[in-house]
């Protein structure tokens, strides 16, 4: 798989954490109503801190020769581990009043800021620009569905060759049937995040990427609802990647390359919502994932990832 294709998959998965998404609730007679849409006249800021630690290793193939083992050991010795990244995200969400047709305009912007990266235990901490930079999002809420979804140019750069507007509109609207579902303490609701991420030259059926978030209502006190959160990730890719282009006309064209990748993960956290204005006061997640990728030489690359997310929300003044 090319570096660009891998970047698309990683960027899209990461961006699912950075969307103007509201999981909220309000009190009703027999419990609370669960909402995935913001209210009109909303002005909120969400500040997120994220720490990610990745460890990589390569498992030799069963029939590896001594020469190959020596070469592999040298390669592994050059791989920094762990790789630690600390980043911050400031997200603002604004909605308008409903017009005569009931339409509500939604505006959101996310500033990723700088990112701290440490390559290897004891290595120097480097401060680098976050590749996602600043992203802007706009849409119109019409009868509980997102329409006219538009992302800024930065989103297109993060996901080159993809229709980010259509991709995320599909994801938003997949949650629409959950709007207004009634929950009692101890009951759970599931929110699926299924993101189709097309890759150049690869059949869409070759990639499966499913994330499910589960919210279990724990209690409601003084207008604030507490949820236990669990999340699972299941991603598979089994495809034949396009062969790299020959560097010269005289060079023979290489054959397409079989490529497989699997990633599984799970995590737990807490969501605390203020019911009156659907504000996320607190959202935490401790997530672990593992990825396996067979390499062309027959060895197996494994990556372990540990991610901790801490979000705090507040109301802000109208612009």
Instruction: Please give the model's pTM, rounded to 2 decimal places.
Output: 0.79
Question: What would the two tokens of residue 140 be?
Answer: 């119109």
Are 207 and 247 in contact by the 8 Å Cβ rule? The answer is: no
Check whether 110 has a pLDDT greater than 90: no
CB 246 within 8 A of CB 229: no
Scanning the structure block, which residue is given the tokens 């103007």? Answer: 20
The tens digit of pLDDT for each residue in 162-187 reads 566 666 666 666 666 677 888 899 99
246 against 108, higher pLDDT: 108
Q: Residue length, the chain? A: 319
Tell which wins on pLDDT, 311 or 37.
Answer: 311
Which pLDDT belongs to residue 192? 76
Q: What is the pLDDT of residues 74-90, one digit of tens each?
A: 887 778 889 999 989 89
pLDDT in tens, 264-298: 999 999 999 998 899 999 999 999 999 998 888 88
Token pair in block for residue 264: 């599984």
Flag whether pLDDT at 6 surpasses 50: no
Average pLDDT value over all residues in the chain: 80
- Confidence check: pLDDT of 249 > 80: no
pLDDT at 50 over 70: yes
d(C-alpha 122, C-alpha 175), whole Å: 44
Per DSSP bridges, beta strands 134-142 and 104-111 are antiparallel
CA pair distance 37, 141, nearest whole angstrom? 9
Kindly tell me if the per-residue pLDDT of 159 is higher than 70: no
The Cα 165–Cα 146 span in angstroms is 11
Question: Where is pLDDT greater, at 71 or 30?
Answer: 71
pLDDT per position as a tens digit, 301-310: 899 999 999 9
Alpha-helical regions (H) of 53-208? 66-77, 153-158, 164-174
At residue 69's C-alpha, the angle toward residues 72 and 2, to 5°, is: 35
What proportion of the chain, given as a percentage, has pLDDT over 70?
Answer: 72
pLDDT tens-digit map of 234-244: 988 887 766 55
Question: In degrees to the nearest 10, what's the CA dihedral of 115, 121, 124, 125?
Answer: 20
Residue 312 confidence class, pLDDT cut points 50, 70, 90: very high
Mean pLDDT of 118-136: 81
pLDDT of residue 14: 44
140: confidence class by pLDDT, cuts 50, 70, 90: very high
Q: For the chain, give the percent of residues with pLDDT over 90.
A: 34
User: 137: pLDDT confidence band, cut at 50, 70 and 90?
Assistant: confident
């Amino acid at each position: 798989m090319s570096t660009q294709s891998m970047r698309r998959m990683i960027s899209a998965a990461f961006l699912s954490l950075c969307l103007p998404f509201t999981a909220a609730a309000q009190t009703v007679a027999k419990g609370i109503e669960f909402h995935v849409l913001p209210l009109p006249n909303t002005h909120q800021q969400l500040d997120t801190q994220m720490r990610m630690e990745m460890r990589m290793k390569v498992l030799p193939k069963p029939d590896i020769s001594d020469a190959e083992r020596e070469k592999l050991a040298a390669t592994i010795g050059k791989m920094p581990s762990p790789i630690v990244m600390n980043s911050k995200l400031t997200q603002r969400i604004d909605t308008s009043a409903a017009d005569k047709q009931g339409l509500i305009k939604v505006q959101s912007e996310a500033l990723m800021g700088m990112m701290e990266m440490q390559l290897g235990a004891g290595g120097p901490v480097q401060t680098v620009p976050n590749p996602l930079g600043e992203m802007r999002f706009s849409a119109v809420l019409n009868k509980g569905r997102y329409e006219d979804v538009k992302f800024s140019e930065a989103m297109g750069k993060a996901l080159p060759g993809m229709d980010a507007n259509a991709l995320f509109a599909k994801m938003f609207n997949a949650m629409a049937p959950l709007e207004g579902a009634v929950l009692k303490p101890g009951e759970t609701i599931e929110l699926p995040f299924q993101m189709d991420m097309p890759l150049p030259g690869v059949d869409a059926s070759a990639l499966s990427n499913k994330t499910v978030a589960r919210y279990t209502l724990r209690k409601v006190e003084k207008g604030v609802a507490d949820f236990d959160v669990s999340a699972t990730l299941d991603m598979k890719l089994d495809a034949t990647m396009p062969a790299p282009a020959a560097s010269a006309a005289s060079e023979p064209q290489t054959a397409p390359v079989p490529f497989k990748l699997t990633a599984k993960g799970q995590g737990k956290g807490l969501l605390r919502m203020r019911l009156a204005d659907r504000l996320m006061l607190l959202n935490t997640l401790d997530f672990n994932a593992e990825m396996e990728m067979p390499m062309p030489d027959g060895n197996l690359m494994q990556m372990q990832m540990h991610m901790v997310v801490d979000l705090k929300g507040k109301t802000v003044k109208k612009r």
